[in-house]
Amino acid sequence: MPVAPAKQKKYIVLGSTGQLGHDLCPRLPGQVVGLTRADIDLTRTDAVRGMLDRLRPDAVINCAAYNYVDRAESELSAAFQVNAYAVRELALACRDLGCTLVHFSTDYVYGLDAGRLEPYLESDRPGPVNVYGVSKLSGEFLVRANCPRHFIIRTCGLYGVWGSGGKGGNFVETMLRLAGEGKLLRVVDDQVCTPSYTVDIADAVACLVQTEHYGLYHVTNAGSCSWYQFAGEIIGQAGMKKDITPITSEEFGAAARRPSFSVLSNMAYETLGFTPLRPWQEALAAYLRERRPVRS
């Protein structure tokens, strides 16, 4: 007797035109419906439920977020509306329809452990130091409380060739632009994390969501550096000659405090047998190769 082909899964990707969403959509193994803020307002509960009822996805992947870290200090309500309250309603809708929710979070859920030098495990207690981090951590808790079939993916320092329309580029592009304009580069050297290429994160998540190993995962490129070290690698790999001055977070004077160390261990992801992501230096080299034909 012939075996019926397996049903093709349907994925909804919210925030599909952002850096991560753009790279994730073509890597998902099934039918993909990409939705933008123009297509669906996540803060409207009726619109979210109506969309899920109509499309009947197997999984919803939420790449959308309020990610203006400094503005969140004075726009607390806006940050929580998108990063927490809307996420709760999305989680409830996914639960009621029996579909999986994949929700992206951030290394900024950490920061209170002064002097820490060991990468954070998923089991380590979070402690955000800014409003954005608190809003994202709240969203995590609301997903865990309301949708049993969930993946929460914490990642860090994202950059991708598509750029981020709402924020106007990414750190790599900013450094290359300023260096090309002959501007003085003063970059923070007392914040250590792992810059991560959206292509690599998308590949990893596309593998993870095909499993039923629900839960919390850290997914970043390997290694760590300060933003000053990252800037130096960007300029060096691009073949540009530019002096970069290291400064402190206090000298930079951002409205929101940042973690001094927020490197994430990918142990839970790797324990499932998945290949570790490549070092951040190799990922940066791949990004610089990819961007040339796009931005020439």
Q: Which residue has the higher pLDDT, 169 or 51?
A: 51
The pLDDT, as a whole number, for residue 60 is 98
**Model-wide pTM > 0.85:** yes
pLDDT tens column, 103-130? 999 999 999 988 899 999 999 999 999 9
Residue 34 above 50 pLDDT? yes
How large is the average pLDDT for residues 50-62?
A: 95
The pLDDT, as a whole number, for residue 225 is 98
The pLDDT, as a whole number, for residue 4 is 46
The pLDDT, as a whole number, for residue 20 is 96
| Cα–Cα distance measured from residue 26 to residue 238, given in angstroms and rounded to the nearest whole number | 28
Q: Where are the domains of the chain?
A: 10-295
At the topology level, CATH places domain 10-295 in Rossmann fold (3.40.50)
Tell me which of 66-75, 103-112, 283-292 is least confident.
283-292
pLDDT tens column, 140-182? 999 999 999 999 999 999 999 886 444 558 999 999 999 999 9
Contacts of 64 (CB under 8 A, 6+ apart): 14, 15, 18, 21, 37, 42, 82
Question: CB of 110 within 8 A of CB of 127?
Answer: yes
How large is the average pLDDT for residues 86-93?
A: 96
Residue 3 above 80 pLDDT? no
The pLDDT, as a whole number, for residue 7 is 72
Output the average pLDDT for the chain: 93
For residue 92, report the phi and psi dihedrals to the nearest 5 degrees.
Answer: -65, -40
The pLDDT, as a whole number, for residue 235 is 96
The pLDDT, as a whole number, for residue 167 is 53
The pLDDT, as a whole number, for residue 294 is 43
pLDDT tens column, 204-248? 999 999 999 999 999 999 999 999 999 999 999 999 988 999 999
The pLDDT, as a whole number, for residue 296 is 35
Residue numbers annotated as active site: 132
Per-residue confidence band for 194, with pLDDT thresholds at 50, 70 and 90? very high
